[in-house]
Amino acid sequence: MTGPAYPTERCKSCPAQVIWATTERGKPMPVDAAPTSDGTVLLEQVGSRLVARVLPAHRAFGRKDLRKSHFASCPDAAKWRRR
């Protein structure tokens, strides 16, 4: 177990399961459902919001509970990032 389980849903562009969080500025941000050893995104529950915090590389190094932004890993991201 690598931390709390968050609700996931299917990405609208690809078959991946993602977790919808918001950035510290409140913008919606999809994050890969599964943590990965090269992830940099820390999910934190702040009140009713799930906040995705991108850690600098030196803080992310060696952790196994971080995820990747789905903006980076989605094969279709180039298409929907433009919106």
Q: How far is CA 31 from CA 2, 42, in A?
A: 15, 10
In this chain, which stretch among 9-17, 31-39, 48-56, 58-66 interacts with Zn ion, using CB under 5 A?
9-17
Q: How far is the CB of 72 from Zn ion (least distance, A)?
A: 10
Q: Scan residues 14-73 and list those touching Zn ion (CB under 5 A).
A: 14, 16
**What is the distance between the alpha carbons of residues 7 and 16, in angstroms, rounded to a whole number?**
13
Among residues 19, 41, 52, 74, the one that binds Zn ion under rule CB under 5 A: 74
Contact by Cβ (8 Å): 71, 32: no
Tell me the site size for Zn ion, rule CB under 5 A.
Answer: 5
**What is the distance between the alpha carbons of residues 82 and 19, in angstroms, rounded to a whole number?**
20
Q: Which residues bind Zn ion (CB under 5 A)?
A: 11, 13-14, 16, 74
